[in-house]
C-alpha cells in the first residue's frame, strides 16, 4: 500500500487518502498483468525444448534449458521470409499511393474553392461510414474483372484512396499560414511546386501519424488478402500464419506455433516500443479509419 501511496502523492490533498481510487488502480495492475500472459506464454513456449513434453507446455516458468529449435522449425516449415516480403510490398505500395492521393485531395479541400465542394466532401465522408471490409464480395468480383485476382496489386487497390487520410491532411494543410504560399506564388511557384515545397514539408507529423495507422491496419489485414490471394508464394504474413498454425496444430507443435506468432508480431511490437508516444497519439486520431 505504501508503494501506491507514493504514486498518489501528487493527487489533490482532499483525495489523497481515499481508498476507492487505489483499489481501482490495484485491479488495473492485476488486469494489466493478466493482459500480458499470452505474450509471456508466447516467449516462454518459444524457448522451451520439445523434450519438456506436452504437459509442461502451459507452464509459464521459463525452461532451464532454453533452445532456439522452435524458431528454426517455424522458419523452415513456414515460408516466413517470403510472407514478410509480401506484407512489406503490400504495406509500402498502399502507403506510397495513399500519400499521393491524400495530399492532392487534402490540398483541394483545404485551400481551393470549387463548384460542388460540399457534395464531393460528403462523397468522401461516405467512405468512412461504409465499412470497406463489408464490401469484400463486390470488390472481389471487380478485382477478378480487372485481371488482378491472385496478385499483390489486387490486394492493395481498394485502399489506394483514403477518406481518413484526406481529412487528416486537410486539417494539417488548413493550419499552415497562407502567407507562406503567397510568397511562393509571387516567386512564380506552380501549384504542384507549392504543395511539394511548402505544404508537404510542414505537415510531416501528420504524414507519420497516417503512416502508422495505415501500416498497422494493412499489416494486420486478413480476410481481404485471404480472398484475393490463391498462390502460396503470394500470401501475406497473416494468411501465411493462419495456414502455418493449421499445419502445426495437426502435429501439436505448440512451441513452433508460438515461435511463428512471435516472428509475425515482433516487427510491430519493437517499432511500438521505440515510438510508443507517437503510436498512441496516432491511434487516438484514428477513431474511424
CA distance 164 to 177: 23
Rounded Cα distance, 26 and 23, in Å? 5
Residue nearer to another protein on the CB measure, 67 or 220: 220
In the range 227-256, which residues lie near another protein by CB under 8 A? 227, 237-239, 241-242, 245, 249, 254
Give the DSSP H/E element, type plus range, for residue 205: helix 204-219
Binding-site size, another protein (CB under 8 A): 110
Q: In the complex with another protein, which residue's Cβ is closer, 18 or 233?
A: 18
In the bound state with another protein, the residue whose beta carbon lies nearer, of 67 and 222, is 222
Q: Which of 118, 87, 117, 124 is nearest to 102 (CA)?
A: 124
* Residue 105: exposure state from Cβ atoms within 10 A (0-12, 13-18, ≥19): buried
Q: Is 157 in the site for another protein (CB under 8 A)?
A: yes
Residues 131-150 that bind another protein (CB under 8 A): 131-142
Which class for 61: exposed (0-12), middle (13-18), buried (19 or more C-beta within 10 A)? exposed
Instruction: Kindly state whether residue 288 participates in binding another protein, applying the rule CB under 8 A.
Output: yes
Name which of 95 and 239 has its Cβ closer to another protein: 239
Is residue 47 within a helix (H) or strand (E), and if so which, with residue range? Answer: helix 20-47
- Give the binding range for another protein (CB under 8 A) out of 64-72, 78-86, 202-210, 262-270: 262-270
When asked if residue 11 is in the footprint of another protein (CB under 8 A), the reply is yes
Of 69 and 189, CB closest to another protein: 189
Give the C-alpha separation, 101 to 81, whole Å. Answer: 30
Residue 218, classified by CB atoms within 10 Å of its CB into exposed (0-12), middle (13-18) or buried (19+), is buried
Under rule CB under 8 A, which residues in 163-182 are in contact with another protein? 163, 166, 178, 181-182
> Interface with another protein by CB under 8 A: which range of 68-76, 77-85, 201-209, 213-221?
213-221
The CB-side HSE value for 66 (13 A sphere, CA atoms) comes to: 10
Q: Does 96 bind another protein (CB under 8 A)?
A: no
Contact call for residue 122 and another protein (CB under 8 A): no
Looking at residues 19 to 78 of the shown chain, list those that interact with another protein (rule: CB under 8 A): 20-21, 24-25, 27-29, 31-33, 35-39, 41-42, 45, 54-55, 57-60
Amino acid at each position: 500500500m505504501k508503494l501506491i501511496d507514493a504514486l498518489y502523492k501528487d493527487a489533490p490533498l482532499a483525495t489523497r487518502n481515499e481508498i476507492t481510487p487505489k483499489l481501482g488502480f490495484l485491479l488495473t495492475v492485476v488486469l494489466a498483468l493478466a493482459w500480458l500472459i499470452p505474450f509471456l506464454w508466447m516467449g516462454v513456449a518459444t524457448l522451451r525444448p520439445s523434450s519438456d513434453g506436452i504437459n509442461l507446455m502451459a507452464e509459464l516458468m521459463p525452461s532451464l534449458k532454453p533452445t532456439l529449435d522452435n524458431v528454426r522449425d517455424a522458419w523452415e516449415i513456414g515460408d516466413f521470409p517470403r510472407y514478410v516480403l509480401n506484407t512489406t510490398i503490400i504495406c509500402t505500395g498502399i502507403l506510397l499511393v495513399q500519400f499521393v492521393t491524400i495530399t492532392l485531395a487534402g490540398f483541394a479541400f483545404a485551400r481551393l474553392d470549387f463548384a460542388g465542394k460540399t457534395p464531393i466532401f460528403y462523397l468522401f465522408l461516405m467512405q468512412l461510414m461504409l465499412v470497406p471490409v463489408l464490401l469484400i464480395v463486390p470488390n472481389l468480383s471487380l478485382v477478378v474483372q480487372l485481371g488482378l485476382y491472385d496478385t499483390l496489386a489486387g490486394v492493395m487497390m481498394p485502399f489506394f484512396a483514403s477518406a481518413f487520410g484526406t481529412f487528416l491532411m486537410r486539417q494539417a494543410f488548413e493550419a499552415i499560414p497562407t502567407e507562406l504560399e503567397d510568397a511562393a506564388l509571387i516567386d512564380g511557384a506552380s501549384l504542384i511546386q507549392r504543395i511539394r515545397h511548402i505544404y508537404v514539408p510542414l505537415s510531416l507529423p501528420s504524414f507519420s501519424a497516417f503512416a502508422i495507422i495505415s501500416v498497422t491496419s494493412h499489416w494486420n489485414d486478413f480476410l481481404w488478402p485471404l480472398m484475393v490471394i490463391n498462390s502460396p508464394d503470394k500470401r501475406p504474413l497473416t494468411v501465411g500464419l493462419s495456414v502455418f498454425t493449421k499445419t502445426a496444430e495437426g502435429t501439436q507443435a505448440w512451441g513452433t506455433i508460438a515461435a511463428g506468432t512471435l516472428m509475425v508480431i515482433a516487427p510491430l511490437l519493437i517499432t511500438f516500443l521505440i515510438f510508443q508516444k507517437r503510436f498512441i497519439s496516432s491511434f487516438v486520431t484514428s477513431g474511424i479509419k
